[in-house]
Structure 1
């Protein structure tokens, strides 16, 4: 009996030491707060769709650049290395592809920053709105 009381007291102390993490409750329908949350979701929706479109376009551009690079590298095996003009043309194309890759990397970093800013705005809104705002998930195929 004493052991059970001591165990219960220890468990009570353990659980009492951990503060409860309450999830925010969504505002009640037909209140100004709820209407404000729904208006915010309405503002976020076109931004979410634009981010989605831009990420799809960026990924398509990455795939296209990857194919161009693979084709270019495959052509290296057939390059006459004694032909200065052919080597110069090959190197010029390589420089173009490298510049394209750098541009795509810069664009990707910019998109990631926009995504983080968007999701931060959604997270702040979800604190006010009880998690009714939808974030943008980048790579659904990887989830």
Structure 2
């Protein structure tokens, strides 16, 4: 009996998105100090975790995805004239099957395909369609 499996190139971004979503949703417990009572929650990020922390987690889970995400962030900065927010990057990973441009950059980076990376970077879309 044959089993059909998704190619790794299609499955990896989904696994990364699931792992990051799981990490972001974990509860964090504060510590207490006998002298001062409860300490502030050192992992409370409010609405957005720092980008470096997010990329660090991504690097541990899937180094190619982290490198592709960095290329995506750089292309967004160049094309849109502002840095991408972490919420936008997380959405690019998690909406549907993931942003095809982000996934293309991850694949091109993994294959060390500079021409492919440049081609994908030119396709980055800015919010509201404001691409220079």
Give your verdict on TM over 0.5: no
TM-score of the aligned structures, taking structure 2 as reference length: 0.31
- Per chain length, whose mean CA-contact separation is higher, i.e. which structure has more relative contact order (CA < 8 Å, sep 6+)? 1
Considering only CA atoms, is the larger Rg found in Structure 1 or Structure 2? 1
TM-score of the aligned structures, taking structure 1 as reference length: 0.29
